[in-house]
């Protein structure tokens, strides 16, 4: 498979991410690494928009259509690489969330399933992703991801309580928890996963699973559950009546209808025993854990609601420091939503794929997930560690190309700009002005910037080759 120039940094990343993929032969593994490196250097949603030559496109199609390995081999290698980045941290946050990929399937011949409402008639894949975030908040990659297609709906609305767990999509939450724990057990060293789940996961099977050893779990409460014993019969009454532990600050990220700010949060907590019922088996379960209620008590921008979370956690809350850590951990859950945006409609645009077979689509989706996580990691580091040298994440040729396009007069000095500065220049090449959102550069403007830069990178690389070998 002949390829155009791929910068060394992307080749190093693809070796770390997929160098140990258990594929049936070395040729396929090498092709996987080349396709991944090209995707990282030139993110996009389709093979023609990312691969730079006919040989690269043919090699990518051949890799994805091969029946000699499945998409799970791609995922396993990438997830193992994620665990290697933990570097012995005692606790790692693991936000988990589901999403749907809307894919083109007008003839309904690709093996996809329905997503959304039956009336809309959309087709695609469902996913459940578990992301690893270190104690400082840096996203490291995925440690588990389930992909599945929905069959024809056989159940009426409101019949969930009459179905077995294995017949509900709740089983994918449980599978994500179990697969993540297994990855930590095999490759995580002494690191303990601390799962962060949104209200959709507030169900008795998940809360029972939370009691498994070797983990912590926090879930946002969605039901005012009955309690066993105590002064208050219901959960929300009990936690709101608990004494104030103290206050902490929370960085509220900007979003639709929400202004970015630093909020002062009031914290209340108590230990509770939930009285839960399995309607299918006619059984009741008692689950003891900690309830935490946190509410924004500082002034809120006009027209906005204060941030308020009711959380259930297996992490012991005995002090203000414990409660603050639970709040900080749950605040990392939005990082999986950022990943979904980058993966689906941001830089990677995986929903644009026109691949025709389900197995090819699944492999493409798994590859793009790894690339999306790399982009998220770079984006976060450029915001939190802007003084790092740009060579931490970009090649020398990319730095030169950005400088040339920006008309930077210091190009000839060969000085290295900071990661924050180069990311800003790259975003500006992609149309970023800072006026529309008021926030730091996002994935879409970075993708546009990379697309503008890559032809210049290729030209710089070819010029170097010609200068070194004038008789070619």
Give the pLDDT confidence of 199-220 residue by residue, as tens digits.
Answer: 999 999 999 999 999 999 999 9
Q: How many Å apart are CA 303 and CA 163, to the nearest integer?
A: 41
State the pairing for strand pair 216-220/192-197.
parallel
Q: What is the mean pLDDT of the chain?
A: 89
pLDDT band per the 50, 70, 90 thresholds, residue 440 = confident
- Which 8-state DSSP code applies to residue 408? -
- Digit-coded pLDDT (tens) for 174-184: 999 999 999 99
**Residue 378: partners with Cβ closer than 8 Å, 6 or more residues away:** 393, 423
Which region holds residue 320: left if phi is over 0, alpha if psi is between -120 and 50, else beta?
Answer: alpha
Task: Say yes or no to pLDDT of 281 above 60.
Answer: yes
Distances in Å between the alpha carbon of 353 and those of 88, 282, 368, 374, 429? 38, 46, 11, 20, 25
pLDDT band at 345, cuts 50/70/90? confident
Higher-confidence residue: 408 or 186? 186
Taking alpha carbons only, the member of 115, 129, 84, 96 closest to residue 368 is 129
Q: Which of 238, 240, 203, 208 is nearest to 221 (CA)?
A: 203
Task: Give the number of other CB atoms < 10 A from CB of residue 110.
Answer: 18
Residue 409 pLDDT grade (very low, low, confident, very high; cuts 50, 70, 90): low
pLDDT value at residue 333: 95
Return d(Cα 97, Cα 130) in angstroms, integer. 7
Q: Answer yes or no: is pLDDT of 365 > 70.
A: yes
CATH class of the 385-467 domain in this structure = mainly alpha
How much is the average pLDDT of 58-86?
95
Cα torsion for 398, 400, 405, 408, to the nearest 10°?
Answer: 140
Furthest-apart CA pair in the chain: how many Å?
Answer: 88
pLDDT of residue 319: 96
pLDDT band of residue 443 (cuts 50, 70, 90) is: confident
Helix ranges (DSSP H) in 104-220 = 170-187, 204-209
The pair phi, psi for residue 99, each rounded to 5°, is -155, 175
pLDDT band at 260 (very low <50, low <70, confident <90, very high): confident
Q: Evaluate whether 408 touches 399 at the Cβ level (below 8 Å).
A: no
The least confident of 78-82, 196-200, 394-398 is 394-398
**Residues composing the chain:** 472
Residues 6+ apart with CB under 8 A from 125: 100, 101, 103, 112, 113, 115, 147, 148, 149, 361, 362, 365
Output the pLDDT for position 451.
Answer: 81
Q: Please write down the long-range contacts of 161-168, taking CB distance under 8 Å and 24 or more positions apart.
A: 161/279, 161/280, 162/279, 162/280, 163/280, 164/280, 165/205, 165/280
Confidence of residue 457 (pLDDT cuts 50, 70, 90): confident
Which residue's structure tokens are 């609601």? Answer: 305
Average pLDDT over residues 115-125: 84
The pLDDT of 52-72, averaged and rounded, is 93
Residue 262: per-residue pLDDT: 93
pLDDT of residue 366: 97
d(CA 72, CA 255): 34
Both tokens assigned to 189: 């060293």
Report helix, strand or coil for 427: helix
99 has a pLDDT exceeding 90:
yes
Residue 175 is predicted with a pLDDT of 97
Supply 411's token pair.
Answer: 């190009």
> In this model, does residue 472 exceed pLDDT 80?
no
* pLDDT > 90 fraction of the chain, expressed in percent and rounded: 61
- Segment holding 354, helix H or strand E: none
Here the tokens at position 343 are: 């993966």
Domain boundaries, the chain: 220-316, 385-467
Give per-residue pLDDT as tens, 309-336: 999 999 999 999 999 999 999 999 999 9
- Amino acid 278: pLDDT: 82
| Average pLDDT, integer, range 86-106 | 93
**Does residue 191 contact residue 91 with C-beta atoms inside 8 Å?**
yes
* Measured distance CA(357)–CA(346) in Å, rounded: 24
């Amino acid at each position: 498979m002949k390829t155009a120039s791929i910068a060394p940094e992307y080749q190093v990343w693809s070796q770390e991410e997929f160098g140990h993929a258990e594929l049936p032969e070395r040729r396929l593994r090498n092709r996987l690494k080349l396709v991944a490196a090209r995707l990282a250097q030139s993110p996009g949603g389709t093979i023609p928009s990312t691969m730079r030559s006919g040989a690269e496109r043919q090699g990518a199609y051949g890799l994805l259509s091969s029946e000699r390995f499945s998409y799970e081999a791609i995922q396993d290698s990438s997830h193992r690489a994620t665990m290697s980045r933990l570097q012995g941290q005692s606790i790692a946050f693991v936000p988990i969330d589901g999403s749907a990929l809307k894919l083109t399937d007008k003839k309904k011949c690709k093996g996809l399933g329905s997503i959304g409402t039956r009336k809309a008639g959309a087709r695609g894949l469902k996913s459940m992703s578990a992301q690893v975030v270190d104690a400082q908040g840096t996203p490291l990659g995925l440690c588990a991801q389930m992909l599945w297609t929905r069959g024809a709906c056989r159940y009426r609305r409101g019949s969930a309580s009459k179905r077995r767990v294995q017949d509900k999509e709740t089983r994918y939450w449980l599978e994500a928890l179990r697969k993540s724990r297994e990855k930590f057990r095999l490759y995580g060293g002494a690191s303990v996963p601390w799962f962060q789940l949104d209200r959709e996961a507030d169900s008795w099977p998940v809360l029972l699973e939370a009691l498994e050893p070797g983990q912590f779990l926090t879930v946002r409460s969605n039901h005012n559950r009955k309690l066993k014993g105590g002064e208050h019969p219901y959960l929300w009454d009990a936690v709101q009546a608990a004494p104030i532990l103290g206050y902490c600050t929370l960085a509220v990220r900007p979003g639709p209808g929400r202004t970015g700010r630093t909020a002062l949060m009031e914290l209340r907590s108590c230990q509770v025993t939930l009285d839960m019922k399995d309607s299918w088996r006619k059984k009741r379960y008692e689950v003891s854990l900690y309830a935490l209620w946190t509410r924004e008590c500082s002034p809120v921008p006009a027209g906005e609601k204060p941030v308020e979370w009711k959380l259930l956690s297996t992490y012991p809350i005995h002090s203000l420091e414990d409660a603050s850590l639970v709040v900080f951990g749950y605040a990392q859950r939005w990082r999986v939503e950022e990943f979904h945006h980058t993966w689906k409609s941001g830089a990677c645009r995986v929903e644009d794929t026109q691949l025709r077979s389900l197995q090819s689509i699944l492999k493409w989706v798994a590859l793009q997930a790894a690339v999306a996580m790399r982009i998220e990691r770079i984006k976060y580091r450029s915001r939190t560690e802007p003084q790092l040298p740009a060579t931490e994440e970009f090649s020398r040729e990319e730095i030169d190309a950005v400088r040339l396009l920006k008309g930077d007069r210091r190009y000839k000095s060969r000085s290295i700009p900071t990661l924050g500065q180069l990311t800003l220049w790259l975003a500006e090449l992609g149309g970023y002005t800072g006026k529309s959102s008021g926030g730091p550069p996002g994935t879409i403007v970075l993708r546009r910037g990379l697309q503008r830069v890559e032809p210049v990178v290729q030209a710089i690389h070819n010029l170097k080759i010609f200068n070194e070998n004038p008789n070619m």
